[in-house]
Structure 1
Amino acid sequence: MRQKHILLGISASISAYKAADLTNELTKRGYAVDVLMTQNSTKFITPLTLQTLSKRPVHTDVMVEQRADLVNHIALAKRADLLLIAPATANIIGKLASGIADDMVTTVAMALEVKVPKLIAPAMNTYMYQNPVTQKNLVTLKEFGYKEIEPREALLACGDFGRGALATNETIVKAVEATLSQRSL
């Protein structure tokens, strides 16, 4: 049986540090995990950490092609069995809902075949999550086939308490495995 290929998109949230454990857990479960990062997410966690845990190159720049014989963002999209964006900021959600492809995460997401499952795990301040624009963008993404892994209610890094904390890695991994098992049927 072919190893399942997961694209893990990381956007610039304080919860980006949790992507290390998530990458490690998915890799230990036998998935090939290619990490895609926005430039600003690299200020929260280094690509080297994620490369070490995934045992694969980390992709941070659309304009950097690792091989001259292929277009990196297209090749990554063609191999994908699933796209997971965790954490997903209001910014990345808005870009995806609007069709903006100006970083590695959004460009690869736009290059995916429609049938590839897409999971999005928001992480942001409660008021940003509740903002009507964010909620409208999430509805739009659901119409495009994305499934939301809803954020938790918790004490947030900014000091506010409310819904906006990244779902637990256990919840995210369960969603990944459920989605991939449904796709295998």
Structure 2
Amino acid sequence: MREILLGITGSIAAYKAADIANQLTRSNMAVHTIMTKSATRFITPLTIQTLTKNRVYTDMFEEVYYPDVRHISLAQKVDCCVIAPATANIIGKIASGIADDMLSTVVMAIKNKPVIICPAMNTAMYENPVTQNNIKKLESYGYRFVEPKESLLACGDIGKGALADVDVIITAIKEAIGEI
């Protein structure tokens, strides 16, 4: 069974992560999920936990005993990591080497495994030169991106920045782990 790490960040598109988790689970993949604090404001960990039948991690410093170093063991056990939706914040953190929460710390500990980043944000934020430079930097390190689509955004703007369709993200994951 393939092990997938699903990172969910604080975007209105976080609700689509439930469909991603559900489809991966139905494809006989074990889905381990990390949600940023802001992601939990858009969708609850219980929703994802119910769909994946696995614990959802939200706090790097939760006082629960683990016989291992959780952020390292998660990084080692998964076959692929997908961050969907990925905000400009998480993209900037990873590009800058900042590991200050459970998701960014685990991503920084992943070696020789695909990390797929699926941006979702306002068009101006996505097209901002800082965001674009961070994306180019991460691509040069081997991180993979699933381009956002052009759509009506939550703010009312029409432009590029909406999370890619779930089936496109699932296909990218399957390609990354050699299942297509």
Shorter-chain TM band: over 0.9
Q: Which residue of 2 aligns with 1:157?
A: 154
C-alpha offsets along residues 65-109 of structure 1, whole Å, 9 cap, x if unaligned? 643321111111110100100000000000000000111110100
In the alignment, the residues of structure 1 paired with residue 140 and residue 17 of structure 2 have an alpha-carbon distance, to the nearest angstrom, of 26
TM-score (norm 2): 0.97
C-alpha offsets along residues 142-163 of structure 1, whole Å, 9 cap, x if unaligned? 1121111000000000000000
Q: Which residue of 2 aligns with 1:147?
A: 144
Q: Which residue of 2 aligns with 1:14?
A: 12
In the alignment, the residues of structure 2 paired with residue 68 and residue 7 of structure 1 have an alpha-carbon distance, to the nearest angstrom, of 18
Q: Which residue of 1 aligns with 2:118?
A: 121
In the alignment, the residues of structure 1 paired with residue 47 and residue 155 of structure 2 have an alpha-carbon distance, to the nearest angstrom, of 25
Identity %: 54
User: Match for 1:181: what amino acid?
Assistant: G
Q: Which residue of 1 aligns with 2:129?
A: 132
User: Match for 2:109: what amino acid?
Assistant: A
Gaps in structure 2 of 5+ consecutive residues = none
Count of residues in Structure 1 that have an aligned counterpart in Structure 2:
180
Q: Find the partner of 1:50 among 37, 48, 51.
A: 48
Q: Is the 8 A contact 1:65 1:71 kept in 2?
A: no
Q: Is the 8 A contact 1:83 1:119 kept in 2?
A: yes
Q: Is the 8 A contact 1:66 1:72 kept in 2?
A: no
Gaps in structure 1 of 5+ consecutive residues = none
In the alignment, the residues of structure 1 paired with residue 66 and residue 82 of structure 2 have an alpha-carbon distance, to the nearest angstrom, of 27
Q: What is the Cα-based RMSD across aligned positions, in Å?
A: 1.2
Q: How does 1:26-65 map to 2 (within 5 A)?
A: 26-64=24-62
In the alignment, the residues of structure 2 paired with residue 64 and residue 35 of structure 1 have an alpha-carbon distance, to the nearest angstrom, of 15
Q: Is the 8 A contact 1:151 1:166 kept in 2?
A: yes
